[in-house]
Amino acid sequence: MITSCNSQTDLEKIKLDTNVSSIVKDSTKFEKENDVIFPFISYETNKVNNYSFGKLSFTNYRIEDTDKNSLINYESRISFFVDNYESNKLLGFAIRIEKEDEGNDLFNYVKNKLGKPLKQNVYNKDNHVQSSYLWDDKARNQLIYIKQNTEYFSNEKNKFISTELAVFKRGLKLNPDEGTDSQKIKNLLDENPNAFDVLEILKNRFQN
Protein backbone atom coordinates (compact mmCIF):
# COMPACT_ATOMS: atom_id res chain seq x y z
CA MET A 1 0.00 0.00 0.00
CA ILE A 2 1.51 3.33 -1.05
CA THR A 3 0.61 6.56 0.74
CA SER A 4 2.02 10.03 0.34
CA CYS A 5 3.42 12.21 3.11
CA ASN A 6 -0.03 13.70 3.74
CA SER A 7 -1.53 10.18 4.08
CA GLN A 8 -3.29 10.25 0.73
CA THR A 9 -3.52 6.89 -1.01
CA ASP A 10 -1.90 7.07 -4.45
CA LEU A 11 -4.36 5.39 -6.82
CA GLU A 12 -1.69 5.13 -9.48
CA LYS A 13 0.29 2.74 -7.27
CA ILE A 14 -2.33 0.51 -5.68
CA LYS A 15 -2.08 -3.17 -6.54
CA LEU A 16 -5.09 -4.86 -8.06
CA ASP A 17 -6.04 -8.42 -7.15
CA THR A 18 -5.06 -7.83 -3.49
CA ASN A 19 -7.22 -7.41 -0.39
CA VAL A 20 -8.93 -4.01 -0.33
CA SER A 21 -8.89 -3.74 3.46
CA SER A 22 -5.73 -1.64 3.44
CA ILE A 23 -7.64 0.98 1.41
CA VAL A 24 -11.09 0.66 2.93
CA LYS A 25 -9.78 1.13 6.47
CA ASP A 26 -12.80 2.83 8.01
CA SER A 27 -15.96 1.11 6.83
CA THR A 28 -18.12 3.93 8.24
CA LYS A 29 -16.83 6.20 5.48
CA PHE A 30 -17.88 3.81 2.70
CA GLU A 31 -21.17 2.61 1.29
CA LYS A 32 -21.63 -0.83 -0.21
CA GLU A 33 -22.98 -0.37 -3.71
CA ASN A 34 -23.89 -2.27 -6.87
CA ASP A 35 -22.37 0.03 -9.47
CA VAL A 36 -24.70 0.99 -12.32
CA ILE A 37 -22.09 1.98 -14.89
CA PHE A 38 -19.60 -0.79 -14.11
CA PRO A 39 -21.61 -3.81 -12.88
CA PHE A 40 -19.51 -4.87 -9.90
CA ILE A 41 -20.15 -4.60 -6.19
CA SER A 42 -18.08 -1.89 -4.58
CA TYR A 43 -17.14 0.23 -1.62
CA GLU A 44 -17.95 3.84 -2.45
CA THR A 45 -17.14 7.16 -0.77
CA ASN A 46 -17.28 10.89 -1.48
CA LYS A 47 -14.04 11.48 0.49
CA VAL A 48 -11.91 11.83 -2.62
CA ASN A 49 -9.54 14.15 -0.79
CA ASN A 50 -8.05 11.02 0.81
CA TYR A 51 -6.70 9.95 -2.59
CA SER A 52 -4.24 11.17 -5.16
CA PHE A 53 -3.19 10.05 -8.63
CA GLY A 54 0.52 10.54 -8.89
CA LYS A 55 1.08 14.18 -7.95
CA LEU A 56 -2.56 15.11 -8.51
CA SER A 57 -4.82 15.71 -5.52
CA PHE A 58 -8.60 15.95 -5.37
CA THR A 59 -11.12 18.03 -3.46
CA ASN A 60 -14.36 16.87 -1.89
CA TYR A 61 -16.76 18.65 -4.23
CA ARG A 62 -20.49 18.80 -4.82
CA ILE A 63 -22.66 20.74 -7.27
CA GLU A 64 -26.30 21.20 -6.35
CA ASP A 65 -28.87 21.82 -9.03
CA THR A 66 -30.68 25.04 -8.12
CA ASP A 67 -33.81 24.19 -10.05
CA LYS A 68 -36.44 23.62 -7.35
CA ASN A 69 -37.89 20.56 -9.05
CA SER A 70 -34.57 18.85 -9.68
CA LEU A 71 -33.27 15.90 -7.68
CA ILE A 72 -29.93 15.90 -9.49
CA ASN A 73 -26.68 16.63 -7.68
CA TYR A 74 -23.15 16.08 -8.91
CA GLU A 75 -20.54 14.89 -6.44
CA SER A 76 -16.97 13.69 -6.78
CA ARG A 77 -16.85 10.03 -5.70
CA ILE A 78 -14.64 6.98 -5.79
CA SER A 79 -15.59 3.30 -5.94
CA PHE A 80 -13.41 0.28 -5.22
CA PHE A 81 -14.70 -2.84 -6.99
CA VAL A 82 -14.35 -6.22 -5.29
CA ASP A 83 -15.17 -9.84 -6.12
CA ASN A 84 -17.30 -10.18 -2.96
CA TYR A 85 -17.53 -8.70 0.53
CA GLU A 86 -15.85 -11.71 2.16
CA SER A 87 -12.56 -12.10 0.31
CA ASN A 88 -12.60 -8.40 -0.71
CA LYS A 89 -10.25 -8.91 -3.65
CA LEU A 90 -9.73 -5.61 -5.47
CA LEU A 91 -10.81 -5.87 -9.11
CA GLY A 92 -10.45 -2.19 -9.94
CA PHE A 93 -11.64 1.29 -9.11
CA ALA A 94 -13.42 4.26 -10.66
CA ILE A 95 -13.10 7.88 -9.65
CA ARG A 96 -15.49 10.57 -10.84
CA ILE A 97 -14.26 14.15 -10.58
CA GLU A 98 -16.83 16.92 -10.83
CA LYS A 99 -14.44 19.80 -10.12
CA GLU A 100 -13.62 20.74 -13.69
CA ASP A 101 -10.01 21.90 -13.31
CA GLU A 102 -9.06 18.81 -11.28
CA GLY A 103 -10.75 16.58 -13.85
CA ASN A 104 -8.92 18.27 -16.71
CA ASP A 105 -5.60 17.75 -14.94
CA LEU A 106 -6.36 14.05 -14.46
CA PHE A 107 -7.56 13.63 -18.04
CA ASN A 108 -4.46 15.25 -19.50
CA TYR A 109 -2.08 13.43 -17.15
CA VAL A 110 -3.44 9.99 -18.07
CA LYS A 111 -3.48 10.73 -21.82
CA ASN A 112 0.05 12.11 -21.84
CA LYS A 113 1.49 9.31 -19.73
CA LEU A 114 -0.08 6.34 -21.49
CA GLY A 115 0.40 7.49 -25.06
CA LYS A 116 -1.45 5.94 -27.98
CA PRO A 117 -4.73 4.33 -26.83
CA LEU A 118 -6.30 1.11 -28.00
CA LYS A 119 -9.55 2.97 -28.68
CA GLN A 120 -10.59 6.61 -28.67
CA ASN A 121 -13.56 8.84 -29.33
CA VAL A 122 -12.85 12.56 -29.42
CA TYR A 123 -15.58 15.18 -29.55
CA ASN A 124 -15.09 18.80 -28.53
CA LYS A 125 -17.35 21.03 -30.57
CA ASP A 126 -19.87 23.80 -30.01
CA ASN A 127 -18.83 24.07 -26.34
CA HIS A 128 -19.73 20.43 -25.74
CA VAL A 129 -17.22 17.72 -24.80
CA GLN A 130 -17.77 13.98 -25.11
CA SER A 131 -14.43 12.20 -25.35
CA SER A 132 -13.14 8.83 -24.13
CA TYR A 133 -9.99 6.71 -24.32
CA LEU A 134 -9.13 3.07 -23.57
CA TRP A 135 -5.72 1.50 -22.96
CA ASP A 136 -4.85 -2.18 -22.59
CA ASP A 137 -1.81 -1.90 -20.31
CA LYS A 138 -0.31 -5.39 -20.52
CA ALA A 139 2.85 -4.35 -18.67
CA ARG A 140 0.86 -3.56 -15.52
CA ASN A 141 -1.90 -6.11 -16.21
CA GLN A 142 -4.66 -3.53 -16.22
CA LEU A 143 -7.21 -1.76 -18.38
CA ILE A 144 -7.54 2.03 -18.18
CA TYR A 145 -10.65 3.83 -19.36
CA ILE A 146 -11.15 7.58 -19.06
CA LYS A 147 -13.89 9.84 -20.33
CA GLN A 148 -15.07 13.42 -20.18
CA ASN A 149 -18.46 14.84 -20.97
CA THR A 150 -20.28 18.11 -20.52
CA GLU A 151 -23.01 18.05 -17.88
CA TYR A 152 -25.81 20.64 -17.76
CA PHE A 153 -27.73 21.63 -14.64
CA SER A 154 -30.11 24.23 -13.20
CA ASN A 155 -32.44 23.91 -16.16
CA GLU A 156 -29.40 23.84 -18.47
CA LYS A 157 -28.39 27.36 -17.45
CA ASN A 158 -25.06 26.10 -16.12
CA LYS A 159 -22.62 23.44 -17.26
CA PHE A 160 -19.29 21.86 -16.40
CA ILE A 161 -17.03 19.08 -17.67
CA SER A 162 -17.18 15.86 -15.68
CA THR A 163 -14.27 13.39 -15.72
CA GLU A 164 -14.31 9.69 -14.88
CA LEU A 165 -11.34 7.33 -14.71
CA ALA A 166 -11.76 3.56 -14.34
CA VAL A 167 -8.97 1.01 -13.88
CA PHE A 168 -9.59 -2.76 -14.00
CA LYS A 169 -7.55 -5.92 -13.72
CA ARG A 170 -7.00 -7.46 -17.17
CA GLY A 171 -8.90 -10.65 -17.94
CA LEU A 172 -12.02 -9.85 -15.92
CA LYS A 173 -15.31 -11.32 -17.10
CA LEU A 174 -18.86 -10.38 -16.18
CA ASN A 175 -21.48 -12.94 -15.27
CA PRO A 176 -24.70 -12.79 -17.30
CA ASP A 177 -27.68 -11.34 -15.43
CA GLU A 178 -29.62 -13.90 -13.47
CA GLY A 179 -32.63 -15.05 -15.44
CA THR A 180 -31.04 -14.33 -18.81
CA ASP A 181 -32.21 -16.91 -21.33
CA SER A 182 -29.52 -19.56 -21.79
CA GLN A 183 -30.07 -19.65 -25.53
CA LYS A 184 -29.55 -15.91 -25.73
CA ILE A 185 -26.26 -16.29 -23.85
CA LYS A 186 -25.20 -19.09 -26.20
CA ASN A 187 -26.03 -16.96 -29.23
CA LEU A 188 -23.97 -14.07 -27.85
CA LEU A 189 -20.99 -16.31 -27.20
CA ASP A 190 -21.32 -17.98 -30.62
CA GLU A 191 -21.21 -14.53 -32.19
CA ASN A 192 -18.38 -13.31 -29.96
CA PRO A 193 -16.64 -15.74 -27.55
CA ASN A 194 -15.34 -12.72 -25.61
CA ALA A 195 -18.75 -11.07 -25.22
CA PHE A 196 -18.55 -11.00 -21.41
CA ASP A 197 -14.93 -9.87 -21.14
CA VAL A 198 -14.61 -6.43 -19.53
CA LEU A 199 -12.15 -5.41 -22.23
CA GLU A 200 -14.65 -6.32 -24.94
CA ILE A 201 -17.45 -4.49 -23.15
CA LEU A 202 -15.33 -1.35 -22.85
CA LYS A 203 -14.31 -1.59 -26.51
CA ASN A 204 -17.97 -1.68 -27.48
CA ARG A 205 -18.38 1.83 -26.07
CA PHE A 206 -16.37 3.17 -28.98
CA GLN A 207 -17.28 3.74 -32.57
CA ASN A 208 -15.67 1.35 -35.02
Per-residue pLDDT reduced to its tens digit, 10-53:
999 999 999 998 888 776 678 998 877 788 899 999 999 999 99
Q: What number of CA atoms fall less than 13 Å from residue 63's CA on the CB side?
A: 19
Residue whose C-alpha is closest to residue 57's, from 19, 94, 109, 1: 109
Per-residue pLDDT reduced to its tens digit, 119-165:
999 998 888 999 999 999 999 999 999 999 999 888 788 899 999 99
Residue whose C-alpha is closest to residue 79's, from 24, 132, 147, 146: 24
Q: What is the chain's Cα-based Rg?
A: 18
Give the per-residue pLDDT at 45. Answer: 94
Evaluate if residue 6 carries a pLDDT over 70.
no
**Cα distance between residue 78 and residue 164, in whole Å:** 9
Evaluate if residue 2 carries a pLDDT over 90.
no
Name which residue leads in pLDDT, 15 or 2. Answer: 15
For 48-107, what is the HEC assignment?
HHHEEECCEECCCCEEECCCCCCCCEEECEEEEEECCCCCCEEEEEEEEECCHHHHHHHH
Per-residue pLDDT reduced to its tens digit, 69-102:
666 789 999 999 999 999 999 999 999 999 999 9
Q: What is the mean pLDDT of the chain?
A: 87
pTM for the whole structure: 0.89
Helix/strand number for the chain, H first, E second: 3, 14
**Cα distance between residue 91 and residue 82, in whole Å:** 5
List Cα–Cα distances, 202 to 20, 47, 142, 179, in angstroms: 24, 27, 13, 23
Give the per-residue pLDDT at 4. Answer: 43
Give the per-residue pLDDT at 61. Answer: 95
Give the per-residue pLDDT at 176. Answer: 65
Residues 179, 93 contacting (CB under 8 angstroms): no
In the three-class reduction of DSSP (H, G, I as helix; E, B as strand; rest coil), residue 143 is classed as strand
Pairing of strands 51-53, 9-10: parallel
Give the per-residue pLDDT at 5. Answer: 43
